[in-house]
């Protein structure tokens, strides 16, 4: 009986086994037309793996599930030693297999699944996963600074499994601004994926240019409940309900949604949408057109300006994480879109990066509903802009136009909330 692997062609966990098979000269055949959610729900598949996880390997001696166990089994079948030549090497191979599974793959999945809609998207959880991933990349980078491979002087199963796990990150999640901070990991990954046995399975690998956009969580379809009909129950003629008295109907009518307190403020001469339109449509002479236009429109009685400074800039050591942190803040500020405009600057060419912003809010204070519902607000120091102070007014103008250098430093990025 040939070795038969139940998985799709694109399953990175199947790649571990297929690459190992290339190194040891063992024939492993993928099940044709395998469909996730269909093929792995059949009685035949569930007999091999009762929880329906993929991949599963059929062997002459019975099935094997869990991708690392399958790869280990195949790696032991050939003459090419993928486990090292001594007990300590074998232990180190197992060490790096566990490390790449628990520290790299697990955190990559915590990032990917919520963005694809297969789990709830929680910004604090994403930031924690990014921080843990950075820590694991730092450890791997340190080891690879003095080693071509993870164990010894040739490819082992540790390299195969680690590269298969890294593949998901490079292809789907990790942009260049993140991976470039770990040059030895980059060198290691691109060296291995371009070796013949790896390339035969992976094909040509390209690094992603952006993280997947956040999608709402996918909910399984719920079957509609149907009530069984009883033959014994005679059909009853539907009786029209008597019309309710007008007074009762009025009492049961849904109450109108309470207005936002900001909608009750006196009218302002500044029309926020006009400013946002001017900002978006100005392509040249930005200072003379857009910035001047802002100050001409600005109503200090109906609106207020605020500087914000991130309290924990020392933690902003990875550009990718910092930019994602700011992007998440802007997403969570969506509740204030009708009443606010904001500019967020990520400053510096080297870590730690500084995050500073300028916000325009309706009213004289930061809206209470924003402070209550957007937890990011407490991560910043907020200072009201005194427009009678020319230095503060000029600083605000520079933030609106993304002036560079800003306060003597380069801009890593500038994001707008409008």
* Tens digit of each residue's pLDDT (9 = 90 or more) over 160-218: 999 999 999 999 999 998 999 999 999 999 999 999 999 999 999 999 988 888 876 65
Residue 150 · residue 96 · CB < 8 Å: yes
**Whose CA is closest to 208, among 185, 178, 164?**
178
Predicted confidence at residue 247, as pLDDT, reads 45
Under the banding of pLDDT at 50, 70 and 90, the label for residue 121 is: confident
For the chain, count helices (H), then strands (E): 17, 9
Structural domains of the chain, ranges and CATH numbers in brackets: 3-75 (3.40.30.10), 96-138+151-202 (1.20.1050.10), 263-417 (3.30.70.1010)
Under the banding of pLDDT at 50, 70 and 90, the label for residue 249 is: very low
Under the banding of pLDDT at 50, 70 and 90, the label for residue 233 is: very low
Q: Is 236 helix (H, G, I), strand (E, B) or coil?
A: coil
Instruction: Give the mean model confidence (pLDDT) for residues 344-359.
Output: 95
Predicted confidence at residue 367, as pLDDT, reads 95
User: CA dist 304 to 73, 169, 365, Å?
Assistant: 66, 43, 7
Under the banding of pLDDT at 50, 70 and 90, the label for residue 80 is: confident
Across the chain, what does the average pLDDT equal?
Answer: 89
Instruction: Give the mean model confidence (pLDDT) for residues 373-397.
Output: 94
% of the chain with per-residue pLDDT over 70:
89
Contact partners, residue 352, CB within 8 Å, separation at least 6: 313, 314, 315, 316, 317
User: Among 243-252, 257-266, 320-329, 394-403, where is mean pLDDT lowest?
Assistant: 243-252
Using the predicted structure, report yes or no on whether residue 243 has a pLDDT greater than 70: no
Contact partners, residue 369, CB within 8 Å, separation at least 6: 260, 335, 336
Under the banding of pLDDT at 50, 70 and 90, the label for residue 328 is: confident
Using the predicted structure, report yes or no on whether residue 225 has a pLDDT greater than 80: no
Instruction: Give the mean model confidence (pLDDT) for residues 6-28.
Output: 95
Pairing of the two strands 56-59 and 3-6:
antiparallel
Q: Convert the pLDDT of each residue in 123-159 to its tens digit.
A: 888 889 999 999 999 999 999 999 999 999 999 999 9
Q: Convert the pLDDT of each residue in 150-174 to its tens digit.
A: 999 999 999 999 999 999 999 999 9
- Max mean pLDDT range (74-78, 256-260, 304-308): 304-308
Residues 347, 356: Cα–Cα separation, whole Å: 8
Residues 306, 357: Cα–Cα separation, whole Å: 8
Predicted confidence at residue 216, as pLDDT, reads 66
pTM of the predicted model as reported, rounded to 2 decimal places: 0.57
In this predicted model, which residue has the larger pLDDT, 259 or 381?
381
Predicted confidence at residue 251, as pLDDT, reads 46
Instruction: Give the mean model confidence (pLDDT) for residues 304-317.
Output: 92
Instruction: Give the mean model confidence (pLDDT) for residues 388-402.
Output: 96
% of the chain with per-residue pLDDT over 90:
74
Using the predicted structure, report yes or no on whether residue 22 has a pLDDT greater than 80: yes
Using the predicted structure, report yes or no on whether residue 25 has a pLDDT greater than 70: yes
Using the predicted structure, report yes or no on whether residue 307 has a pLDDT greater than 50: yes
Q: Is 271 helix (H, G, I), strand (E, B) or coil?
A: coil
Predicted confidence at residue 217, as pLDDT, reads 63
Instruction: Give the mean model confidence (pLDDT) for residues 315-337.
Output: 86
Predicted confidence at residue 257, as pLDDT, reads 61
């Amino acid at each position: 009986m040939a070795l038969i692997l139940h998985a799709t062609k694109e399953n990175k966990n199947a790649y571990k086994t297929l690459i190992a098979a290339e190194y040891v000269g063992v024939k492993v055949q993928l099940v044709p037309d395998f469909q996730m959610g269909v093929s792995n729900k059949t009685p035949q598949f569930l007999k091999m793996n009762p929880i329906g996880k993929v991949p599963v390997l059929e062997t002459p001696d019975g099935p094997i599930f869990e991708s690392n166990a399958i790869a280990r089994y195949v790696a032991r079948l050939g003459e090419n030693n993928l486990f090292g030549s001594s007990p300590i090497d074998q232990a180190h191979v197992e060490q790096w297999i566990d490390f790449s599974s628990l520290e790299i793959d697990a955190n990559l999945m915590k990032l990917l699944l919520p963005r694809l809609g297969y789990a709830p998207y929680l910004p604090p959880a994403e930031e924690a996963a990014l921080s843990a991933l950075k820590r694991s990349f730092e450890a791997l980078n340190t080891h690879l600074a003095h080693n071509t491979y993870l164990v010894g002087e040739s490819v082992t199963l540790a390299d195969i499994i680690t590269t298969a796990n890294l593949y998901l990150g490079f292809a789907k999640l990790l942009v260049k601004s993140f991976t470039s901070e770990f040059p030895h990991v980059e060198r290691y990954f691109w060296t291995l994926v371009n070796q013949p046995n790896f390339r035969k399975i992976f094909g040509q690998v390209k690094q992603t240019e952006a993280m997947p956009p956040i999608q709402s969580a996918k909910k399984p379809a719920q079957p509609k409940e149907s009530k069984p009909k009883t033959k014994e129950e005679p059909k009853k003629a539907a009786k029209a309900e008597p019309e309710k008295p007008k007074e009762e109907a009025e009492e049961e009518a849904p109450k109108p949604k309470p207005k936002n307190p900001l909608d009750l403020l006196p009218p302002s001469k500044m029309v926020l949408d006009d400013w946002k339109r001017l900002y978006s449509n100005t392509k040249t002479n930005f200072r003379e057109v857009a910035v001047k236009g802002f100050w001409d429109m600005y109503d200090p009685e109906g609106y207020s300006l605020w500087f914000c400074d991130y309290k924990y800039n020392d933690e902003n050591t990875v550009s990718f994480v910092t930019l994602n942190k700011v992007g998440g803040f802007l997403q969570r500020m969506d509740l204030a879109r009708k009443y606010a405009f904001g500019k967020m600057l990520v400053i510096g060419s080297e870590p730690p990066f500084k995050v500073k912003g300028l916000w325009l809010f309706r009213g004289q204070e930061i809206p209470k509903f924003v402070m209550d519902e957007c937890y990011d607000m407490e991560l910043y120091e907020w200072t009201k802009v005194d427009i009678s102070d020319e230095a503060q007014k000029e600083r605000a103008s520079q933030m609106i136009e993304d002036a560079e250098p800003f306060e003597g430093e380069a801009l890593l990025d500038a994001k707008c909330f409008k």
